[in-house]
Structures are given as structure tokens and as C-alpha cells.
Amino acid sequence: MLHQVYCKILSNVIREAKRIYYDKKIKKSSNRHKTTCDIIKKLTNNQNSQIGIQKLTIDNNHLKDQQDIADAFNNHFSSIFDKISKNNANNATNNKKVPTFHYYLEKN
């Protein structure tokens, strides 16, 4: 029983010491955002691992070359803007048919 109490106290002291240590490290840093990210990576054992896309299939076309895959993503995301722009233009045209509040005021 006494052992559990001391373990809990020790855990709390260690946790508080770590908090103080990292707080000081962040406050002394010239780039707090980067320091915070580095601390989080260290504490979570999160290493930057870049796993490349080995194969991409678009319309039954299998792409394996990294440049072809990058171009396919670029084309996809570039086309989204065009689709949104066309959709907004169509909505603007369709919205002209909807009466404004002036229409309802004039009827009375």
C-alpha cells in the first residue's frame, strides 16, 4: 500500500518536472512553433516517414512512375478549381431566376 502511494507521488513529481523542463525550453526558443513540434515528435516517438505512392490507377490506367503520379495529382487538384468556378457561374445564372425581396415588396 505504501509502495503504491510513493509510486504515485514519484510519477506526479516526474510529470511536473517534465512539464517545467519543456515549458522553459519553449520559452527560451526563438522559434516556439518548431520547438513545440519537435517536443511533440520526441514525446510521441513520431518520426517523419515518407512513404511514396508506388502505384496509382486512374480510369484503368496504372501509373507507376513517380512523375506521372505527381502529374496526375496535379491535374486532379487543378481541375477542382475549374469545376468549382463553373459550378459557381452556373449557380449565379440560376439564382437570377429566384425573386429578390424587392419582388415581394412591390406586390403589396
Mind listing the pLDDT tens digit for each residue in 20-71? 999 999 999 999 899 998 898 888 887 666 677 889 998 888 999 989 999 9
Mean pLDDT, all residues of the chain: 81
Q: Is the pLDDT of residue 88 over 70?
A: no
- Specify the 3-state DSSP secondary structure of 45: coil
Q: Strands 61-63 and 56-58: what pairing? A: antiparallel
Q: 62 φ, ψ to 5°?
A: -95, 115
Q: What count of Cα atoms within 13 Å lies in the side-chain half-sphere of residue 96?
A: 5
* Distant-in-sequence contacts of 33-39, Cβ < 8 A, 24+ apart: none
What per-residue confidence (pLDDT) applies to 52?
A: 75
CA distance readout (Å), 90 to 84, 96, 98, 100, 103: 10, 10, 13, 18, 22
11 pLDDT tier (thresholds 50, 70, 90)? very high
pLDDT confidence band for 96 (50 / 70 / 90): low
- Domain ranges for the chain: 1-48, 50-108
pLDDT at 94 over 60: no
